[in-house]
Amino acid sequence: MELTGADIFVESLKAENVDTIFGYPGGAVLHIYDALEKDESGELTHILARHEQGALHAAEGYAKSTGKPGVALVTSGPGATNAVTGIADAYLDSVPLVVITGQVPLELIGNDAFQEVDIVGITRPCVKHNFLVKRVEDIAETIKKAFYIATTGRPGPVLVDIPKDITAQKAEFSYPEKVHIRSYNPVVVGEPQQIKDAVDLLLAAKKPVIYTGGGVILSNAANELTEFSRLLGYPVTNTLMGLGGYPASDKQFIGMLGMHGTYEANLTMNKSDLVVAIGARFDDRVTGNIEKFCPDAKIIHMDIDPSSISKNVFVDVPIVGEIKNILPALIDEIKARGTQPDADALAEWWKQIDEWRAMDCLKFEQDDKEIKAQYVVQKLWELTAGDAFVTSDVGQHQMWAAQYYSFDKPNRWINSGGLGTMGFGLPSAMGVQLAHPDETVACVTGDGSIQMCIQELATCTQYQLPIKVINLNNGYLGMVRQWQEFFYQKRYASSYMDALPDFVKLAEAYGHVGMRIEKPSDVEGALKEALALKDRLVFMDFITKKEGNVYPMIPAGAGQNEMILV
């Protein structure tokens, strides 16, 4: 039976077990939207965002919280270019997305037609792969390839650009069971000799540290990481993207490392003799000054992406493969040898780490005058028992959320790491809430970030999404102001938000509950009240200390042991 290209596209998504699509219609994708409307299977739900960037971030939130690929559908021209920020965000955070863009009819490509842009060319630097479909017969196989590429190896966004006329033409529909791409064959199992070499270093170390990133979560390897770490008894630190990959409540966890990491995590890294990097990419926010990074340490690096190995930092033992496969192989090799690390050396190492811990670098005092942002996040953690899904925007509030909300589970911390995208928090929370309708979803944001995609409050109204928005309102672009205080002699150029809306009235205008909280004594009660409203979005506008700073902080160009603590 022949189907139109639009119908083939819909049937292909169903064959991939897609249940949710985030998008925004336009002329070039009207055939596809019509096919979605006519589909009576009930298998696909389309979520109408209010901006294409919001649709992409919602798809990211869906993917990050479920481990399944997110799907977004936008039109050509400005619809496609509006989606680029979300695509780039997903690329840097290795988020599996399949993004479908409409395109002008094939014969008009290159003619500067209405709403034409070369979105394949524009996105080439920030996608894992992209396709321009030129024949209706190729739609099904292209969709199969897109999902395969997006979800295997190091995940990432794949874009499929489909001209409008191709979606109207007809062809026989047959969805392939599998695809083979000659030039793409990810390595998933660690090489045996490298496993042995790694164990040699693991058992010989005197001052080891396990440094883990988002790859642990992407590989669904949190349980394997916990078993591996407890077998060795080594300290564990997470990157911003890796939080929740190892339980924060565990005694071996020494906190997040990096620019705003803990004193003990950064000094443990700096003074170590062995760094065991697992699913992490040695980002500049982690390493600080490369020349000063872990000067006395040998490095084991496990990653699914061979291009990440020795890209930023030279490593002594590389292991390419899925973290979920590598860690059990290491565990088996350690057990097979019947030997353990040097217990005396490890005890001495832990004694030193506990001395650094005693600095209590995240300690703060909440007075009865101004609300401190740290206090709000800490109370949120207490009242949700650490079991909420927490999304964030980008800035000071993001760092405070990472520092003061302790994640014991993977896939619960949803933030924009690599690109640092303001506007990510609210739409990503939509994707999370749609994927987990019975769970508590909190969006920690700031007065600058929330306005980037605030129109998505309308989407939350339409689909009755009971997100709890925690707006840490200090009247500044907080992280910009902090850098200006530290490094620009307090010249607060364009970082003061002196024309803020009444967020309570704005939330109410969209049909939600709004609260303004100005006193520290009201913080806990407001959070309790909001969390009790299970079926309503609640926008909590916390008026916080204007010039609060995130500590610790490693200045740009400094080493891990050169932290600003107060």
Tell me how far apart the alpha carbons of residues 48 and 289 are, in angstroms, rounded to a whole number: 44
Tell me how far apart the alpha carbons of residues 495 and 80 are, in angstroms, rounded to a whole number: 30
What pLDDT, in 10s, does the model give residues 209-236?
999 999 999 999 999 999 999 999 999 9
3-state secondary structure of 161: strand
Question: Among 14, 68, 115, 497, which one carries the catalytic annotation?
Answer: 115
What pLDDT, in 10s, does the model give residues 19-45?
999 999 999 999 999 999 999 999 999
Residue 168 has pLDDT above 90, yes or no: yes
Domains of the chain: residue spans and CATH: 2-172 (3.40.50.970), 192-357 (3.40.50.1220), 373-543 (3.40.50.970)
Average pLDDT of span 294-309 = 96
At which residue do the structure tokens 């690109």 appear? 419
Question: Among 2, 38, 107, 114, which one carries the catalytic annotation?
Answer: 114
Average pLDDT of span 268-282 = 97
pLDDT at 135: 98
Distances (CA, A) of 36 to 6, 30, 80, 159, 519: 8, 10, 19, 19, 49
Average pLDDT of span 74-97 = 98
Per-residue pLDDT band at 191 (split at 50, 70, 90):
very high
Tell me how far apart the alpha carbons of residues 303 and 203 are, in angstroms, rounded to a whole number: 21
Residue 556 has pLDDT above 90, yes or no: no
Question: Among 52, 224, 264, 456, which one carries the catalytic annotation?
Answer: 52
Q: Where are the alpha helices (DSSP H) in 39-181?
A: 52-66, 78-82, 84-92, 119-123, 139-151, 164-168
At which residue do the structure tokens 């071996």 appear? 252
Q: What is the pTM of this model?
A: 0.97
pLDDT at 122: 98
Residue 268 has pLDDT above 90, yes or no: yes
Average pLDDT of span 398-411 = 98
Amino acid at residue number 395: G
Spatial strand order in the sheet of 97-103: 45-48, 20-24, 70-74, 97-103, 157-163, 129-132
Question: Among 256, 269, 399, 479, which one carries the catalytic annotation?
Answer: 479
- Of residues 443, 463, 441, 464, the one with CA closest to residue 454: 443
Which tokens sit at 23? 């998008």
Average pLDDT, the chain: 97
3-state secondary structure of 339: coil
Catalytic annotation present for 114:
yes
Tell me how far apart the alpha carbons of residues 19 and 46 are, in angstroms, rounded to a whole number: 9
What pLDDT, in 10s, does the model give residues 113-164?
999 999 999 999 999 999 999 999 999 999 999 999 999 999 999 999 999 9
Catalytic annotation present for 164:
yes
Average pLDDT of span 492-500 = 92
Average pLDDT of span 408-420 = 97
Residue 498 has pLDDT above 90, yes or no: no
pLDDT at 43: 97
pLDDT at 415: 97
Catalytic annotation present for 479:
yes
Which tokens sit at 254? 């020494």
**Residue 194, CB-side half-sphere exposure with 13 Å CA sphere:** 17
Spatial strand order in the sheet of 441-446: 413-414, 389-392, 441-446, 468-473, 538-543, 513-517
Query: DSSP labels for 399-465?
Result: HHHHHHS---STT-EE---SS--TT-HHHHHHHHHHHSTTS-EEEEEETTGGGGSTTHHHHHHHTT-
Question: Among 128, 144, 164, 379, which one carries the catalytic annotation?
Answer: 164
